[in-house]
A and B are shown apart, each in its own frame.
Chain A
Amino acid sequence: MSHGKNVNAQADAKKIEVCYVARVEGQADIRVEVANTGETKAEFAVFEPIRFFEAFLVGRKYHEAHEITSRLCGICPIAHQMTALRAVENALKVKVTHQTRALRRLLALSAWIQSHTLSLYFLTAPDYLGYDGAIAMASKHEDAVRRALRLKKLGNDLGEIVGGRAIHPISAVFGGFTKIPKKEDLTEIRQRLKQEKDDIWTTVSLFNSFKYPEVNRDTDLVAISSDEEYAVNEGRLKSVKGLNVAEEEYRKHIREGEVAHSNTKASTLNGKDFLVGPLARVSLNHQKLSPDAKKAMKELNLQLPSNNPFMHIKARVVEVLYSLDECMRLIDALKLDVAEQPIQATLGTPCEGFALTEAPRGLLYHAYKLDANGIVRKADLVPPTAHNSASIESSLCAYAPEVVKKNQDLQLECEKLVRSYDPCISCSVHVTRLKKGR
């Protein structure tokens, strides 16, 4: 069986092939080959089966887009829902109320809390503490594992209160919410947010105690950005090197093109790979963080701008802290005195709509063309891991020779690098760059 205990370490030690990387969401292989000259080839090859979402969305109604695309990913269903809803609402020119906007932001941040916690404690920490997984880690670090479970549960419970269900929420629909959360539920969860916030500095020091490798290569970092707030569900498309355009312009700038070291196609900006995710967001938008999140940045010595993908880990810690602060702020500001009904669409003319959001692991793009009856005629979806896949390969190429030079464990180090991006492969699989013969 091809997937299983999965190391094919060559006698040569300069070539590794990891079949089925563990502790990432989905199914992917890593292949890295470092020649004696130092020249390196790297492949991040997805073998997750293709699901054809963009194809079978054709023929579905506009109000189903978010329900169906939610099923692209069980870790970031909320991000797909928020993006699909806004893309379709943009197409049909529906502007949601202030309350809906706030509730959606709350819902999206609940997903950041649970996804980042899962990534930090379950997928990342075991590498740095020397365990196979969080359950094994519990033998010596029970406090840390219990803290992680509490924090993750908090994110999920908040998602459930706002969205009706944590995984594949149900109450966020076209034009608004079918039901708004109960005040007493929000008050109760606010107390838990406060408690976890008080405890968050333990997380900050834990992730500050790990030694992260240096990987530095020239690259651009891309995220959405807003003048009003730390951008989550809406904003302009910006990059550290100066891109600054509206979301409708996405396809004019982010293209599928050839990358120098690879003969397959990948997302590129100005012909080069780029990085999306927490590090890109913090780099572009750190001035919008809460005071304590800024303090955590200092404590973690997160120096910006940074091109080192391992700094994603520190950025994730900062964002968990920010999310706790921002969720409390949002709950305090919510009046919830009107039971609003979702705004209905007016159909009748063919239209198209676009939306960019920040999923926990980075920039997410949805675009839909609708006909006069509100039926999807074309769908274009680009999840964060599709944006990052070329960057992952380039970073492996930059990092692997250093690892070989220092005689470190090449497999472990390559896996750590891939995990730092927190790739979500189920999401990205419908735009998988296929390898012949797989």
Chain B
Amino acid sequence: MFAKPKPKVAVYKFTGCAGCQMELLRLEDELLDIAEKVDIVYFMMAQSNVELQPYDICFVEGSISTPRELEEVKYIRAHTKTLVAFGDCAVTGCIPSIKNWFPQFDLERTVYKDTTPIKSFKVGGIGEYVPVDLVLPGCPPHKNLIFEVITSAFLGIRPKLRMHAVCMECKLRENVCILTSLGKLCMGPVTRAGCGAICPTYGRECEGCYGPMSDANPSALAEEFRKLGLSSDDIVRKFRKYAGTTEEFKEVAGL
């Protein structure tokens, strides 16, 4: 019998905070088993040996914000079977995308005296530049979702990732709705599930860190916020945070 070759897995990072890789490393109980089933061939934060060759699965953390990254993501796409947009930065641009509302030169002058060496452009998810096979949202995506993707890839099946609202998970946890009964400014109704509704469970409003759900209706939620007394500026700030430049949110976020 021939042993099936192990799938080759790579983990890349672009403009981001490495929190998604850290969440991947939170699979402490599973990590050694995973390492037996797959070949981790590129993971700069964790190991110094490097193989540059076709990957079966490539997790890309971070958004694209420089010419160098744009070239690299195209290269990775060309050499990867299954490309995963790993976490909000790679999906929506996440928090760093707040900068997209500022004139680039103003940003540069705020932080640096000499701006000439800076090569930076609008922050965007990798899907803006190359086709993506799988979108894994969250800031960070919960480790169980990461595990689901890895095991599904190994089995060759489609992973079960949720497209519905955080509200579904919140109901399953039998939380009292903090939006309708407490008047808290919860982003749950437009935000994609996957976290297990942790924020409402911890007594605070969802901030929307998994980005928009499918068929989100942000303008209806913005209207609710207005009725609860939120100013237009505050509403813009609410939507201009984790996914402000997405198709779904950009109108309410003020683009």
Residues of A that sit less than 8 Å from B by CB: 1-6, 20, 22-27, 47, 49-56, 58-61, 64, 67-68, 71-75, 77, 118, 122, 126, 132-136, 138, 142, 145-146, 149-150, 152-153, 156, 164-168, 170-171, 173, 178-179, 415, 426, 430-431, 434-438
Contact = CB atoms under 8 A, between A and B. Distances in A.
A64 B110 contact: no
4 nearest CB pairs, A to B: A74-B19, A133-B47, A22-B48, A55-B110
Contacts of A167: 19, 22-23, 26, 140
Given A167-B22, A171-B202, 20 more contacts: A23-B44, A49-B66, A50-B65, A52-B111, A55-B111, A64-B237, A71-B17, A73-B17, A74-B18, A75-B19, A77-B17, A126-B48, A133-B47, A136-B47, A138-B32, A150-B28, A165-B198, A170-B204, A179-B203, A434-B118
Nearest to B97: A56
B255 interface: no
B171 to A, nearest CB: 19
Contacts, number: 191
Contacts of B29: 149, 153
26 contacts: A1-B71, A22-B48, A23-B45, A24-B45, A27-B13, A49-B14, A49-B69, A50-B120, A53-B96, A56-B96, A56-B102, A58-B110, A60-B98, A71-B94, A133-B43, A138-B32, A152-B28, A164-B198, A166-B26, A170-B198, A171-B202, A178-B203, A178-B204, A426-B16, A436-B117, A438-B117
Interface string B157-201: 000000000000000000000000000000000000001001101
Contacts of B71: 1
A387 to B, nearest CB: 17
A298 B209 CA distance: 46
A235 B132 CA distance: 48
Interface in B136-152: 139-140
B46 A133 contact: yes
B212 to A, nearest CB: 18
Given A61-B234, A156-B26, A178-B204, A22 B117 contact: no
Contact of A54 (B22, B110, B116, B120): B110
Contacts of B66: 49
Contacts of B99: 51-52, 55-56
A146 B117 CA distance: 45
B118 A56 contact: no
A75 B117 contact: no
A133 B111 contact: no
A59 B111 CA distance: 15
B14 A23 contact: no
B35 interface: yes
Given A168-B209, A435-B117, A6 B111 contact: no
